[in-house]
Chains A and B, each alone.
Chain A
Amino acid sequence: DTEVTQTPKHLVMGMTNKKSLKCEQHMGHRAMYWYKQKAKKPPELMFVYSYEKLSINESVPSRFSPECPNSSLLNLHLHALQPEDSALYLCASRPRTSGGADTGELFFGEGSRLTVL
Chain B
Amino acid sequence: AQSVTQLDSQVPVFEEAPVELRCNYSSSVSVYLFWYVQYPNQGLQLLLKYLSGSTLVKGINGFEAEFNKSQTSFHLRKPSVHISDTAEYFCAVSSSGGYQKVTFGTGTKLQVIP
Contacts and interface: CB of A to CB of B under 8 A. Distances in A.
B34 interface: yes
Contacts, number: 62
A102 B90 CA distance: 21
B49 A56 contact: no
Contacts of B45: 108
9 contacts: A42-B104, A42-B107, A90-B43, A104-B51, A105-B34, A105-B46, A106-B46, A108-B44, A109-B43
Given A104-B51, A106-B36, A109-B43, 17 more contacts: A6-B43, A31-B100, A40-B107, A45-B101, A45-B102, A48-B100, A48-B101, A90-B43, A90-B44, A103-B32, A104-B94, A106-B44, A106-B46, A108-B36, A108-B45, A110-B41, A111-B43
B54 interface: no
Interface of B: 32, 34, 36, 41-46, 49, 51, 90, 92, 94, 99-107
Contacts of A55: 100
Contacts of A90: 43-44
A55 B41 CA distance: 29
A62 B90 CA distance: 29
Which one of B41, B94, B100, B106 has the greatest number of beta carbons of chain A within 10 Å? Answer: B100
